[in-house]
Amino acid sequence: MNDLRPERLVGKVVVVTGAARGQGAAEAEALTREGARVIATDVTEAPGCRRLDVTDEEHWAELAAEVRESYGQVHGLVNNAGITWRARLDEVTPDDFARVHAVNVTGPLLGIQHLTPLMPPGSSIVNVGSTAALSGHYPVAYTTSKWALRGLSKTAATELGPRGIRVNTIHPGFIETEMTASAAPAFREANIHETPLGRTGTVDEITPLVVFLLSDESSFITGAEIPVDGGLTAHGGVKSISDALAVTTARTRPSPIGPPARVSPPRAVG
């Protein structure tokens, strides 16, 4: 489909955080393919990536100065960098809790504070949340940080709207990256079980939405939250009920070519 359209991000300068690998690397590639001038950043060294620790305000100030010097403006920011910490409620320490929030919430806040002064009307920010932000997911530091990111996104969309800057949030489900590779096999299996599409997702299933949200095609969309999760959050936890009753329903469903099939009651035993 994209082959038939001109590149959709020509003339736009876009900063992507956490772009050394995983979703961020795929987003940087896809945005570049669509014609954007991408500034890929990460705390981890990688070819083509500029070093930026999202928790460090000086790093953001330096980046903003460089962008101003080199391009004058920036039209897009993807707040993708994130870390997880799989400690439960009774295990998490205040230090670990704060560390996760520093990357997942303070990082995007600093990015917005330092780059929006350089953003003209029509600019777009994409915050990468998680289905954890839509549920009571067990890693409490991660879950609370992603819920907080939702709040930041809504506030930013409200405050920046009058300047013509849009802010949206995407909520990936289980996506195959190094982050999920470190999870227990049971976590992966349980996710697949709870996902109506019955599988995990890939980074290439995230990037089209990020491109769309950064392009002018989404010019009237702001403050939105879009899951990319194979339906994980759509059923609100009732998939197992639906699955459990699917067999019974199939046995009692009216036949499309005749009267309802009669189902014999279970035979009494003894």
Ligand X SMILES: NC(=O)c1ccc[n+]([C@@H]2O[C@H](COP(=O)([O-])OP(=O)(O)OC[C@H]3O[C@@H](n4cnc5c(N)ncnc54)[C@H](O)[C@@H]3O)[C@@H](O)[C@H]2O)c1
Q: Where are the beta strands (DSSP E) in the chain?
A: 13-16, 37-42, 50-51, 76-79, 124-128, 166-172, 225-228
In DSSP notation, 21-53 reads SHHHHHHHHHHHHTT-EEEEEESS--TT-EE--
Q: How far is the CB of 161 from ligand X (least distance, A)?
A: 24
Phi, then psi, of 258 in degrees rounded to 5: -175, -175
Site membership for ligand X, residue 21 (CB under 6 A): yes
Q: How far is the CB of 90 from ligand X (least distance, A)?
A: 23
227: three-class secondary structure by DSSP: strand
Closest CA to 126 of 2, 9, 4: 9
Whichever of 7 and 183 has its CB closer to ligand X, that residue is 183
Selecting among 142, 152, 171, 205, the annotated active-site residue is 142
Site membership for ligand X, residue 17 (CB under 6 A): yes
Closest CA to 133 of 142, 125, 120, 122: 142
Site membership for ligand X, residue 29 (CB under 6 A): no
Q: How far is the CB of 98 from ligand X (least distance, A)?
A: 13
Give Cα separations from 152 to 70, 113, 127 (angstroms): 29, 12, 9
Q: Scan for tokens 């300047």, then name that residue.
A: 163
DSSP 8-state symbol, 19: T
The answer to whether the CB of 8 falls within 8 A of the CB of 217 is yes
Site membership for ligand X, residue 50 (CB under 6 A): no
Burial degree of 213 (CB within 10 A; 0-12, 13-18, 19+): buried
Q: Segment 64-103, which members bind ligand X (CB under 6 A)?
A: 80-83, 103
Number of residues that bind ligand X (CB under 6 A): 28
Query: Looking at 43, 78, 105, 112, which residue binds ligand X (CB under 6 A)?
Result: 43
Q: Segment 218-247, which members bind ligand X (CB under 6 A)?
A: none
Q: Segment 155-214, which members bind ligand X (CB under 6 A)?
A: 172, 174-175, 177-180
* 142 annotated active-site: yes
Site membership for ligand X, residue 60 (CB under 6 A): no
- Letters for 109-148 (x = contact with ligand X by CB under 6 A, - = none) are -------------------x-x------------------
Burial degree of 263 (CB within 10 A; 0-12, 13-18, 19+): exposed
Whichever of 118 and 132 has its CB closer to ligand X, that residue is 132
Q: How far is the CB of 4 from ligand X (least distance, A)?
A: 29
Residue ranges binding ligand X (CB under 6 A): 17-18, 20-24, 42-44, 52-55, 80-83, 103, 128, 130, 172, 174-175, 177-180
Would you please indicate which residues are annotated as catalytic (active-site) residues?
142
